[in-house]
Amino acid sequence: MADNKLISTLSGKKQDRPPIWLMRQAGRYLPEYREIRNKAASFLDFCYDPKLAVEATLQPIRRFGFDAAIIFSDILVIPDALGQDVRFEVGEGPRLNPIVTPPDLKMLKPRHDATRLGPVYEAIGLARSALGQETALIGFCGAPWTLATYMIAGKGTPDQAPARQFAYRFPDDFQALIDLLVEATTEHLSVQIQAGADAVQIFDSWAGVLPCGEFERWSLEPIARIAEAVKRRHPQTKLIGFPRAVGERLTEFAKIEALDAIGVDTSADRRWIGRSLDTSLPIQGNLDPLVLLAGGAALDRAIDNIVEDFSHRPHIFNLGHGILPPTPIAHVERLVARVRGEA
Ligand SMILES: Cc1c2[nH]c(c1CCC(=O)O)Cc1[nH]c(c(CCC(=O)O)c1C)Cc1[nH]c(c(CCC(=O)O)c1C)Cc1[nH]c(c(C)c1CCC(=O)O)C2
pLDDT in tens, 202-255: 999 999 999 999 999 999 999 999 999 999 999 999 999 999 999 999 999 999
Q: Distance of CA 62 to CAs 57, 124, 134, 180, 336, Å?
A: 10, 17, 13, 38, 13
- Is the CB of residue 27 below 6 angstroms from any atom belonging to ligand 1? yes
3-state secondary structure at position 118 = helix
Q: How are beta strands 315-319 and 283-287 bridged, if at all?
A: parallel
Q: Give the span between the Cα atoms of 267 and 285, in whole angstroms.
A: 10
Distance CA 107, CA 99 (A): 8
Centre of ligand 1 to C-alpha 74, Å, is 6
| 200: enclosing H helix or E strand | strand 199-204
How confident is the model over 42-70, as pLDDT tens digits? 999 999 999 999 999 999 999 999 999 99
- Among 206, 85, 223, 100, residue whose Cα is nearest residue 156: 206
For residue 116, the 8-state DSSP code is: G
Query: What are the distances in angstroms from CA 142 to CA 145, 185, 258, 293?
Result: 8, 8, 17, 25
Hey, which CATH number is domain 5-339, 2.120.10.90, 3.20.20.210, 3.30.300.20, 3.90.650.10?
3.20.20.210
C-beta of 322 in contact with ligand 1 (< 6 A): yes
Burial (Cβ within 10 Å: 0-12, 13-18, ≥19) of residue 306: buried
Indicate whether 81 pLDDT > 90. Answer: yes
Q: Which of 17, 63, 74, 173 is catalytic?
A: 74
The CA 278 to ligand 1 mean position distance, Å, reads 31
Domain ranges of the chain: 5-339
What is the Å distance from ligand 1's center to 24 Cα?
A: 7
Alpha helices in the chain (DSSP H): 5-10, 31-36, 43-47, 50-64, 77-81, 118-130, 144-153, 161-169, 171-195, 214-215, 221-233, 250-254, 270-276, 289-294, 296-309, 329-339
Question: Of the candidates 127, 161, 146, 139, which has an alpha carbon nearest to the alpha carbon of residue 59?
Answer: 127
What is the Cα–Cα distance from 207 to 261, expressed in whole angstroms?
A: 17
Nearby residues of 59 by Cβ (< 8 Å), 6 or more positions away: 26, 30, 32, 33
pLDDT of residue 2: 58
* CA–CA dist 218, 15 (Å, integer): 35
CA distance 262 to 242: 6
Catalytic residue among 49, 67, 150, 265: 150
Judge whether 24 counts as a catalytic residue.
yes
For position 91, what pLDDT does the model report? 82
Residue 47's nearest CA partner among 92, 77, 82 is 77
Our answer on whether the CB atom of 282 is closer than 6 Å to any ligand 1 atom is no
Query: Is 150 a known active-site residue?
Result: yes
Burial-class residue 248 by CB neighbours within 10 Å (0-12, 13-18, 19+).
exposed
Its ipTM equals 0.94
Report the share of the chain in percent with pLDDT over 70.
99
Q: What is the pLDDT of residues 139-192, one digit of tens each?
A: 999 999 999 999 999 999 999 999 999 999 999 999 999 999 999 999 999 999
Q: Within the chain, how many helices (H) and strands (E) appear?
A: 16, 9
